[in-house]
Amino acid sequence: MVASILPLRLEAVELRKRGKHILGPLSLELGATGCTILLGPNGSGKTSLLRLMHGLERVRRGQLQWAAPLEEARRKQAFVFQTPIVMRRSIVDCIAYPLLLDGQSRSAARAEAADMAARVGLHGDLARPAFVLSGGEKQKMALARALVRAPELLFLDEPSANLDGRSTREIEAILQSLKADGTRIVMSTHNVGQARRLADDVLFLNEGKIVEAGDAATFFDNPTTPEAQAHLNGDLIP
C-alpha cells in the first residue's frame, strides 16, 4: 500500500476573515481511517474548519501538517460542497472534468465518469446538461466528481442539507459503501440522526472551538459538555 497523506495535524490553528475571528485556536489530529463527523449548531464553524483543512482557506496562524508533501496531499483529497457547484457542461463531462485535468483522454475520462455515475445511482441520459438535474441528483453528480479521482480522503459539507429524505438516504448509502471500501470521510452535518448512522468519531464545535471530541458511541451516549448535551437534545445551547 502507498504511503498515506494522513494523519493530518492541526496545531493552534486560527482563522480570521475580514477582520472577524472565526475559528480557533484549535488543535486536532485526523487519523488514517474511519468516518469523522463534525457536529455543531449553525455558525459554529463546521464549514470553515472543513475548508481550512482542504486548503480553501489560508492558514495565517498555527500549523497544518499532512503526513505527505502538500502537493501530494492536495491531489489525494476531494471536497463535496453543501450547494453543488454545477459546471456548464453535460452530466458526464462534469464528472469527467477532474480526469481531464489529470491528462486523460476525453473518451477514457467519459467512460470512467459513466461508471462512477452508475455507482452513485445517477441514471438517465448523461449527455444532458448538468443543470437539468434535481437537487439530489446534482449532489450525486458532485459526489461522483469528487470520487472519480479515487481520493484517499473525502470532505463533505452537509451534503444532504438541501435534500429530501429519500435523496438523503441514497447519499448515506453511498457513503456507507465508501466507508466499507476504506475511503477516509470527514463530514459535517447538523442532522444528529445522520451523524449517529455514519460516525466513527465526532468533533463537536461551538463558536469556532472544538468543545468535545472523541469516539462516536461515547459522544452520543454520554456527552460530557452541556453544549453537546443541549445540541443532542435539540435544545438551544446555553
Partner 1 sequence: MNDLWAGLAEALRLVLRLDPDLVEITIRSLQVTLTATAIAALIGLPLGAWLSVNRFRFRRVVIALLNALMGLPPVVVGLIVYILLSRAGPFGVLGLLFTPTAMIIAQVIIITPIVASIAHQAIRDLWSEYHDLLISLHTTRAQRIKALLWDSRRALLTAALAGFGRAIGEVGAIMIVGGNIDHATRVLTTAIALETGKGNFALALGLGFVLIALAIAVNLALHMLTRTERSSQW
Ligand X SMILES: Nc1ncnc2c1ncn2[C@@H]1O[C@H](COP(=O)(O)OP(=O)(O)O)[C@@H](O)[C@H]1O
State yes or no: residue 17 binds ligand X (CB under 6 A).
yes
Q: How far is the CB of 236 from Mg ion (least distance, A)?
A: 18
Site size with ligand X, rule: CB under 6 A: 12
Please say which residue, 47 or 183, places its beta carbon nearer to Mg ion. 47
| Nearer Cβ to Mg ion (83/105) | 83
Q: What share of the chain is helix, strand, coil (3-state, %, to 5)?
A: 40, 25, 35
Q: With contact defined as beta carbons under 8 Å apart, do 196 and 202 qualify? A: no
Is there binding between residue 231 and ligand X (CB under 6 A)? Answer: no
Return d(Cα 147, Cα 53) in angstroms, integer.
Answer: 18
Q: How far apart are CA 97 and CA 3, in angstroms?
A: 26
Interaction site with partner 1 (CB under 8 A): 54-56, 74-75, 78-79, 81, 85, 87-90, 97-98, 101, 127-129
Helix 106-119, helix 91-101: angle, nearest 10: 120
205 DSSP assignment: E
Residue 58 CB, nearest distance to partner 1 (Å)? 11
Q: Segment 18-47, which members bind Mg ion (CB under 5 A)?
A: 47
Question: What span, in angstroms and rounded, lies between the C-alpha atoms of 215 and 35?
Answer: 10
Q: Which of 48, 167, 194, 206 lies at the binding interface for ligand X (CB under 6 A)?
A: 48
Question: Which CB atom, from 152 or from 212, has the smaller least distance to ligand X?
Answer: 212
* Residue number with CB closer to partner 1 (102 or 215): 102
d(CA 2, CA 60): 31
Residue 128 interface partner, choices ligand X, Mg ion, partner 1, none, CB cut-off 5-8 Å depending on type: partner 1
Minimum distance from residue 41 beta carbon to Mg ion (Å): 10
62 residue type, one letter = G
Contact call for residue 45 and ligand X (CB under 6 A): yes
By the rule CB under 6 A, 21 interacts with ligand X: no
Q: Of ligand X, partner 1, Mg ion, none, which one sits near residue 98, judging by CB under 5 to 8 A according to partner kind? A: partner 1
Shortest Å distance, C-beta 81 to ligand X: 11
Piece in contact with ligand X (CB under 6 A), picked from 18-26, 125-133, 144-152, 165-173: 18-26
Which residues contact residue 53 at a Cβ distance below 8 angstroms, ignoring those fewer than 6 apart?
8, 10, 30, 64, 155, 186
Beta strand extents in the chain (DSSP E only): 8-17, 20-30, 35-39, 61-65, 77-80, 153-157, 184-188, 201-206, 209-215
**Can you give the binding site for Mg ion, defined by CB under 5 A?**
47
